[in-house]
Amino acid sequence: MKAISQFVREYLLAVQFFTRIPITGRLADWVGFSPEMLRASAGHFPGVGILVGAVAAATYALLLALLPDTTFTPLVAAALTTVVTVLMTGGFHEDGLADVADGLGGSRDRDRALEIMKDSRVGAFGAMALVLALLSKIALLAILGSVDGAPTGWEEAPFSAWYICAALWAGHVVSRGLPLLLIYLLPHVGDTASSKSKPLADQIAPGSLLLAFAWCFVVLLAVLSVLDAINLIVACSFAAIALLWMGRLFRRRLQGFTGDCLGAAQQVCEIAFYLGLAISL
């Protein structure tokens, strides 16, 4: 029972840290906080993706059911679903993407780039990265939402949104699991005295990494009833290639990672997942 209680507390701490879902009062007191707990909660990041992805999938499906059936319906559903996920996470990962784009785009010097990344203001490179990332995500989700992906025997469902529901659910989970490899393979180079990712600066425990990929495996196994195995293999391969590219970029330009780098990697991996899925159709 103690192990289960600790598991739940670490999961709720991850939800509290990476979403705007209110965990307050007596529940927050029960969850508690310590740097060690936050470090251990890293293994639950894909579990947070399960929650965010489920809300995104439900939102997209509901909008497809309520809106009139037109050419632009999947596009509108994709845009509003993206709004919901940003509100749910507080734009945490999008903020990291903007900071990384400003830092790496604003200076070739490592120290100056890190200094720019700590600036809360959004510059030209950050704005461009955010706009292009959101446009790419919405466009790809619109394509996936246009696919009639209902499994055999499910055609009488009130909406034909099974494919996009599975894609959203898996995309949010996988994109939160892969960036943990950056913690495992690269040193933390942020300002550890003030960084939000300070408890993650140490190498992630192998057990936490295994837990993270267990979360991913469970979801990928679940969506096999909707997505073909080859679709998932291609999508995960695209996400993994995106992570490798991001990791190489961070190693070359920063000699490590920061908390913002993790957020940027999540966004890029999510977009790459949807791209691979769309190309595999």
Domain extents in the chain: 46-280
State the DSSP code for 92.
Answer: H
pLDDT in tens, the chain (281 residues): 778 888 989 899 999 989 999 888 888 888 888 778 888 888 999 999 999 999 999 999 999 889 998 889 999 999 999 999 999 999 999 999 999 999 999 889 999 999 999 888 888 999 999 999 999 999 999 999 887 654 544 444 444 578 899 999 999 999 999 999 999 999 988 765 555 555 655 578 888 899 999 999 999 999 998 888 999 999 999 999 999 999 999 999 999 999 899 999 999 999 999 999 999 98
141-196 pLDDT, tens digit each: 999 988 765 454 444 444 457 889 999 999 999 999 999 999 999 998 876 555 55
Q: What is the pLDDT of residue 152?
A: 47
Decide: 43 and 208 in contact? Cβ < 8 Å.
yes
CA angle 138, 141, 147 (to 5 degrees): 145
- Which pLDDT score is estimated for 148? 64
Q: What are the beta bridge partners of residue 188?
A: 257
Residue type, 129: A
The predicted pLDDT at position 15 comes to 92
pTM over 0.85: yes
Tokens 């100056």 — which residue?
112
- Residue 188 main-chain phi, psi, to 5 deg: -80, 130
Q: Answer yes or no: are the C-beta atoms of 160 and 148 closer than 8 Å.
A: yes
What's the pLDDT tens digit per position in 114-152?
Answer: 999 988 888 899 999 999 999 999 999 999 988 765 454
- Write down the pLDDT at residue 154: 45
